[in-house]
Chains A and B, each alone.
Chain A
Amino acid sequence: MTTPQHICIAGGGTAGWMTAAALANRLPHSHYRITLVESAQIGTVGVGESTIPHIRQFNSALGITEEEFIAATSATWKLGIEFTDWGKVGDSYIHPFGELGRPLAGIEFHHLWQAASLQGLDVPIESFSVAAVAARQRKFSPPHASREHLLSTYTYAYHLDASAYARFLRDYAEQRQVTRVEAQIREVKRDHQGGPITALSLDNGQEISADWFIDCTGFRSLLIGDYSQAEFIDWSEWLKTNRAVVLPCEKDGPSRPYTKAMAREAGWQWQIPLQHRIGNGYVYCSDYISDEDAEHTLRSTLPGEALADARFLDFKAGCRKQLWVQNCVAIGLSAGFLEPLESTSIFLIQMGIAKFLEHLPGTHNDATRNQYNRELTEQYQVIRDFIILHYYLTQRYDTPFWRDYQAMNLPDSLTELILAFRDCGLVDKQQYGLWPAVCIGQRLHPKQVDSRVAAIPPQQLIGMLNQLKSDIAAQVATLPNMDDYLSSLVAQTPLQKSGMRAGGQV
Chain B
Amino acid sequence: MSKLFQRDLFETPTNTHGRALKSIWVVGDDVHGLSTAVAFATALKPFGIKVGVVSLPTVTAKQASLHSCNGHLFAFHRRYQLPERAFMQSQGVAFFTAMSLATASRPNKPVWLANDTWLPLFNGIELHQVKRWLSDFASVETSFAAAAAKAGKTVFPSGQQGTLGNSFELGAVVDTEAYCAFLTQQALERGVTFVPSNDIAFERCPHSGDITTLLLSNNQRIQCDWVVDATGPQARVIGQALKRPFESWHAYSPISLSGETTEQSASNTPGIAVSVNDTGYQQVQYLGGKKRTATFTAVHSGVGECEAGFRDPVSHNCLAVGPAAYHIDVPGMSTLHTTHRIIERFLNVVPCLPAPATWGRAFNRTTKQDCEHLRDFGCLLLSAMATRQQITGKPWQVLPKLSESLDQALTLFNESARCTVPPDAMIHRQRWLDALALASSNEQAFEPLLNAVSQASGQQFLQRIATQIQSLVSQC
Contact = CB atoms under 8 A, between A and B. Distances in A.
Bind each other: yes
Interface of A: 1-2, 5, 26-28, 30-32, 105-108, 111, 114-115, 118, 358-368, 370-371, 375, 392-393, 395, 406-407, 409-410, 412, 415-416, 418-420, 422-426, 428, 443-455
Contacts of A1: 451-452
Interface stretch (B4-12, B171-179, B185-193, B299-307): B4-12
B352 A424 contact: yes
A367 B4 contact: no
Nearest to B352: A424
Contacts of A115: 16
Nearest to A406: B6
B415 A412 contact: no
Interface residues of B, number: 54
A364 B353 contact: no
A448 B414 contact: no
B4 A415 contact: yes
Contacts of A450: 17, 350-351
Given A106-B347, A367-B416, A447-B11, A420 B16 contact: no
A28 B13 contact: no
Given A448-B13, A449-B17, A451-B350, A419 B415 contact: no
13 contacts: A118-B13, A118-B16, A361-B448, A366-B411, A415-B2, A420-B359, A426-B351, A445-B13, A446-B351, A449-B16, A450-B351, A454-B16, A455-B48
Contacts of A363: 448
A443 B12 CA distance: 9
B408 A443 contact: no
Given A105-B46, A453-B16, A364 B352 contact: no
Contact of B9 (A2, A118, A364, A393): A393
Given A407-B6, A452-B47, 18 more contacts: A28-B453, A31-B449, A359-B418, A360-B449, A362-B447, A364-B416, A365-B415, A367-B412, A368-B415, A406-B7, A416-B362, A423-B358, A424-B349, A424-B352, A426-B351, A447-B13, A451-B353, A453-B16
A422 B357 CA distance: 12
A426 B2 CA distance: 17
Contacts of B18: 447-448
B21 interface: yes
Contacts of B352: 420, 423-426, 448
Given A31-B451, A360-B447, A423 B17 contact: no
Nearest to B361: A416
Contact of B4 (A358, A410, A445): A410
Contact of A28 (B7, B14, B414, B452): B452
Contacts of B349: 424, 426
Interface in B23-47: 43-44, 46-47
Q: Which 7 A-B pairs have the closest CB atoms?
A: A424-B352, A31-B452, A450-B351, A362-B448, A28-B452, A452-B47, A455-B47
B1 A416 contact: yes
B215 interface: no
B124 to A, nearest CB: 8
Given A118-B15, A424-B351, A444-B10, A454 B3 contact: no
Contacts of A412: 1
Contacts of A368: 412, 415-416, 418
Contacts of A419: 2, 4, 358
A452 B361 CA distance: 23
A454 B353 CA distance: 13
B470 interface: no
Contact of A420 (B10, B362, B447): B362
B22 to A, nearest CB: 9
B449 A424 contact: no
B436 to A, nearest CB: 12
A367 B17 contact: no
A370 B416 CA distance: 13
Contacts of A395: 10
Nearest to B449: A360
A447 B14 CA distance: 8
B1 A415 contact: yes
B216 interface: no
Given A28-B452, A108-B351, A452-B44, A366 B4 contact: no
A414 to B, nearest CB: 9
Nearest to B17: A451
A405 B411 CA distance: 43
Contacts of B10: 395, 443-444
B16 A451 contact: yes
Contacts of A31: 449, 451-452
Interface centre among A362, A412, A451 (most CB of B within 10 A): A451
A432 to B, nearest CB: 11
B1 A452 contact: no
B408 A449 contact: no
B420 interface: yes
A186 to B, nearest CB: 31
B70 to A, nearest CB: 21
A106 to B, nearest CB: 6
Contact of B351 (A360, A366, A425): A425
Nearest to B12: A445
Contacts of A361: 448
Contact of B355 (A393, A423, A425): A423
B49 interface: yes
B458 to A, nearest CB: 12
